[in-house]
Every structure is written in C-alpha cells, then in structure tokens.
Amino acid sequence: MTKKLISVTDITSYLFCPRKVYFKLVKGIKEPPNQKMILGFLKHKIFDIFNKNESIIVSSISGDDKKLIKNTYLEALTRIVQEVSSIYYSMMNSFSIQFQDLLKPVLKSMNAEIELRAASIAEALRKGFRGKELWRELKPKYLTEFEIISEELGLKGRIDRVKLEQEIIPYEIKTREKVYQSDIIQLAAYSLLLEKEFNKPVTKGVIETSEKQETIEISQEMKNQVLEIAEEIRNLSEENLQSNFSSNFVKCENCSFKEDCFE
C-alpha cells in the first residue's frame, strides 16, 4: 500500500504547531495565494530547470578564470528567469511581480552557490578536463533547491543544497542566527531521502546560518523520529489532535489559519 506523501515542510510545521498541519492536511483548508507564495513557486521552477541543465552550462566553460565562470552562470540563470517569466507571465502580472522582482532574489540566493561551483570548476579545468568530461569529473558537485521524493518512505522535500562527493551532505540554509531542533529534524529527513535516492548512507548534514556553518551528526534515532512524526501526521484527526492551544501566542499572530483555529 502506497503511503501518503508527507512533505518535510509539513514535518517542521507540525513541530511548530500541529494544529496548522491539521487544518491544511485534514480539513483541506488552503492558504490564499499571495505574492510571496507565487515568488516561491516561480523560484522553484527556475531551480528545477537550472539543476536539469547545469551539466550543459558547465560543459560550455573552457577558461579557468573564476570571474568568467561566474558570469557564465549568471547569464544562464538570467536566461532561465526570462524563460520562466514568459511561461508564467499572466500569473506574475496578477500578483504585480515584475521580471526584476524575480531576477534579483534568484541571483542573490545563488551568490554563494556560484562561488562554490566556480572553485570546483576552476580546479577541474586546471587538471585539463573540458566539455562533457569536465562535468563528469567535477568534484564536488552541488545541487541547489533539489526536489526529491520517495514513495517508499512516503516523504518529499526540497533541499537547499546537496554536496555530492565521496560523502553526500545535505545543507539547510537559514537567514536567521539561531538553530532550532526542527532544523536538525529537517536535515535528518533529507538524509533519509538522499539515502534512498543515491543508495548510500548519509550520516551528517550542515546547517548554514547568517553567522556560521554547523555540522550535524545524523543518527539513526533522528531518522526514526522523522518517520514517527510523518506517521503521526498521516494519522491526524480531530479526535487525536490536542485541543490545547499553544501557550506561545506569538506563533499565532501571522498564521493564515488563525481565524479557523479560533472559531
């Protein structure tokens, strides 16, 4: 029997507030679309195209000058943003999103990603690799906003960054300084998905905040906790949901389910 797919985002939301996940998954109440949600949707489309075409981008690079490599990436990303903007023009227009509103955050979020890639590519070029061989021999490789699904686990997610080398390492990138337990559970969920995808053990991940990078050792206990939480979510019902509201009502202030929750 196929398990109901639970997103990693729903797992972290459940840790934040089970009621929020209940209203979304059990009651079927959808958050009304807003500009931020549409921008997120469009960015996902852009990174999906980018990941599928990166081997072509890399294979086109012949000079080991890092500035040239970065410019090649920036030009490719700009073309992809143009392509997505053309496809979703009506949607963007409905939410007053201009081309630059999409391009700027995409390029900004890719600054660090391009730096990492440029260093790897320059090193491989200096070793004499070119064209398709350059992509094949590139170490490490990186995936950005990597969407991954496992029907067997009943999980799906989108990983901020994946480092592919001898070890496979998921990265969770946060703009805040503090690391929460839910961030660690998120990494454990990604490690489970990556193990299924690549058939290799994933035993650590990295949480990158505005201040530091923290390497997290991911135990089997953490992975089991992910699966347990996912099963709790699948079994959510009005009867087994805690009726008590959160003692921290700051969580409720900007919640889109506030009106339904306080009926």
Neighbours of 19 (CB within 10 A): 23
Q: Which residues make beta-bridge pairs with 198? A: none
Each residue's pLDDT tens digit, 54-79: 999 999 999 889 999 999 999 999 99
> pTM score, two decimals?
0.88
List of domains in the chain? 1-16+140-235 (3.90.320.10), 33-137 (no CATH)
Each residue's pLDDT tens digit, 21-44: 888 888 888 888 999 999 999 999
How far apart are the C-alpha atoms of 208 and 5, rounded to whole Å? 27
Compute the CA torsion angle 95, 36, 79, 91 (nearest 10 deg): -30
Between helices 181-198 and 220-234, what is the axis angle to 10°?
A: 100
How far apart are the C-alpha atoms of 19 and 227, rounded to whole Å? 19
Radius of gyration of the chain (CA): 20
**Amino acid 30: pLDDT:** 85
- Which residues, given as ranges, of the chain have pLDDT below 50? 244
